[in-house]
Structure 1
Amino acid sequence: MSTLKPISAPLDRASELRSDEAALDRLWNSAKIIRVSNSQLATDGKSLLFLSATEVEELIASKVFTSGDKYFLGIDTASKVAYFAWDCDEVGLSAGETSTEGLASLRELGGTLDEFELGISMQATALSNWHRSHPHCSKCGAETKSTLGGSVRACVKDQSQHHPRTDSAVIVLVKDKDDRILLGHQPIWPDGRFSTFAGFLEPGETFEQCVEREVFEESGVKVNEIKYLGSQPWPFPASIMIAFSAVVDDPSTAKADGVEITEVRWFSRAELKSSVADGSLLLPPTISVARKMIAMWFGPGAEKLTGGESWR
């Protein structure tokens, strides 16, 4: 099985510029800017809406939005255009209140975006999620503020720096010797929704150990022949999905744990195709690494598996 093609915008992150405020200001003035708010992205109704620095300043001056924070995403290696995220909220909202007017989630937009826009959207969303969930210093409890182009939060009291953290999770395509795949159903999903197995890395654990543990915990099978396939950012809210394939010797031992997974099913290519066609199987969304793993296994014709897909 070949490796997955990662979803990541071809941006030069230009980390050497993050401490140069004058350089960041110059880039901001000619940048393409994504507005993000509470994991929602600005949209024109069909795709991402990019703002100019002038438009952002006009919105702030008109007191429509808070001044917010600016996060430097990087420079497009092809066009040399800089990209920023502007993380702000509507003025006048009560504490804890959010607005979705003119905004859409990455889940809603994902299927309409090209690979570049999807990559920068994931980066912008992940940064916004992290900044919003770390308003205080973990050492002294004082307020923290965004600095270095949004790549760091600094404590206003002790000046300690806090860097974004990404949660590592494995996701596994389980196969048997007949090249069938095993998929599982979570109870929070609608009937017919099946996907690959996944779980977070625990302290002191290797990725391979995590693959073995998570698959066994959720489906009751022991795997070997673990092979790395690729990775994908997954800012829901702050993960990186590390994809593997693995092979089980005895497929008859497959059994859902009854908690995280309530049903498991083996699929041949013919069975998967017919189940999608008759509506009894809902696949993971097209932007997910789970869907890409299934499509890579399925091979030619995977793009026609459009009979149904579901987030939840």
Structure 2
Amino acid sequence: MPALDLPFSRAAHDRAAHRRAEPRLVDDLRKEPGTRMLVLRGSQVATVGQRVALFAPDDVAHLAFSTHLFLGEADGVAYLAAILPEPGPESEHTPEADPGPDVDWAAMRALDVPDLEQGLAVEAFALAQWHAAHTHCPRCGAATEVTKGGWVRHCPVDGSDHFPRTDPAVIMAITDADDRLLLARGPEWGAGRRSVLAGFVEPGEGLEQAVARETMEEVGVTVDPASIEYRDSQSWPFPASLMLGFRARATTTRLVLQEDEIAEAGWFSREQFATALADGTLSSYGRNSIGRSLIEEWFGASLGG
């Protein structure tokens, strides 16, 4: 089967991990006029027009960045991410805090740009999220230092190194014997929003085990272990997940909902699904999510929008 077309899983650059050990890598690249830097602030990336802004170092030298991260190379160009502190509610806007008059800010979840820019932005955002949440050593509590181009945090007290982590999560299109798709709504979602089931992989658990366990826990449905089929994976750095897509066939259809996780769930034929989309009973799905891609694969057509 062809791979799914997943926006946050596309990239066109080499991460060049072999360069991370260079002693002054980031400092040296910040002095090179050919280096290009993308700028992040919270959950947003700086853009110009509809594209990710890629600045020369001198263009953003006036900004007070908290961290610089080495992202890799493409066609002889080195790329850095530069992280601005996220402004607080009382912060005043000043020119010194803005990359330039023509720059806008785009939410990462809505980013739709060429593969090079998207791959760089997703990598930068995922790495920045990890740094923001791991400022201190989990062993002794001391403040850690950023090393290896942003890919390690070193504890100067106990000498330990700490590396970025990604949490694996399964997301699955479950169908029954009549090829109806199981769709559910979380308690925090609006009335019309439904998607396929998903959940984090637990310690000591295989991916297929997680698919079966999460389906049973959330809706009380048993799946045939032999039917569990891997489809594709997608980085989902909100804040640090890797979504692993599957499809599987249910052996039972009676629904018993996990109250704190699932508000509604139901089986949809393709005709019922199309009708619900048309009359607004079901809302549109986020363009960038692997959940949408799994639904489209079952449905046999694009959801549009």
Task: Give the TM-score normalised by structure 1.
Answer: 0.85
2:101 maps to which residue? Answer: none
Q: Please name the residue that 1:54 is paired with.
A: 58
1:53-89 CA-partner distances (Å, limit 9, x unpaired): 11121x23xxxxx23211111112xx33322211122
In structure 2, the residue matched to 1:81 is 77
Please tell me whether residue 35 in structure 1 is matched to residue 39 in structure 2.
yes
Measure the CA separation in 2 of the matches of 1:126 and 1:194. 26
1:208 aligned partner: 208
Q: 2:235 aligns with which of 222, 233, 236?
A: 233
Cα distance in 2, alignment partners of residues 260 and 155 from structure 1: 38
| Alignment correspondent of 1:292 | 293
Partner residue of 1:105? 107
Residue 119 (structure 1) aligned with residue 115 (structure 2)? no
Please tell me whether residue 133 in structure 1 is matched to residue 133 in structure 2: yes
**Unmatched tracts of structure 1, length 5 or more:** 61-65, 307-312
Distance 1:151 1:98 in 2: 32
* Stretch moving more, 197-206 or 278-287: 278-287
What is the aligned partner in structure 2 of residue 277 from structure 1?
Answer: 278
Question: How far apart are the structure 2 equivalents of 1:70 and 1:155?
Answer: 18
Equivalent residue number for residue 176 of structure 1 = 176
Cα distance change on mapping 1:2 and 1:269 into 2, 3 Å: farther
Alignment match, 1:167: 167
- The separation in 1 between residues aligned to 2:72 and 2:16, in whole angstroms, is 6
Q: Does 1:247 align with 2:249?
A: yes
Could you tell me which amino acid in structure 2 is paired with residue 297 of structure 1? W
* TM-aligned CA deviation for residue 94 of structure 1: 6.1
Shift of 1:97: 6.4
The 8 Å contact of residues 13 and 119 in structure 2, kept in 1 or not, is answered as: no
Calculate the aligned-residue CA RMSD, in Å. 2.4
| Residue 239 (structure 1) shift | 0.6
Residue identity in the other structure for 2:133? S
Q: What is the distance in 1 between the residues matched to 2:188 and 2:13?
A: 36
Q: Which moved more, 1:157-166 or 1:192-201?
A: 157-166
Secondary structure (helix, strand or coil) at the match of 1:158 reads coil
Matches of 1:98 and 1:216 in 2, distance apart? Answer: 50
* Alpha-carbon contact 2:173-2:182 (below 8 Å) kept: yes
Question: Equivalents in 1 of 2:244, 2:279: separation in Å?
Answer: 31
Deviation at 1:182, TM superposition (A): 0.6
**CA–CA distance in 2 between the matches of 1:228 and 1:178?**
21
Question: Structure 1: which amino acid aligns with 2:195?
Answer: S
Quickly say closer, same or farther: Cα 1:69–1:266, change in 2 above 3 A: same
Partner of 1:10: 12
What SS is found at the alignment partner of 1:43? strand
| Percent of matched pairs sharing the same residue | 39
Distance 2:288 2:223 in 1: 27
Deviations 1:271-311 (A, max 9, x none): 22222222211243010110111112222x31x533xxxxx
3-state secondary structure, aligned to 1:174? strand
Compute the displacement of 1:205 (Å).
1.0
C-alpha distance after superposition, 1:37-59 (max 9, x if no partner): 222212336442222111121x2
- SS of corresponding position for 2:48: coil
State yes or no: 1:143 paired with 2:147. Answer: no
Unaligned runs of 5+ in 2: 99-103
Cα gap change, 1:4 to 1:96, in 2 (>3 Å): farther
Asked whether the 8 Å contact 1:256–1:262 carries over to 2, the reply is yes
CA separation in 2, counterparts of 1:25 and 1:242? 36
Contact 1:194 1:283 in 2 (8 A): no
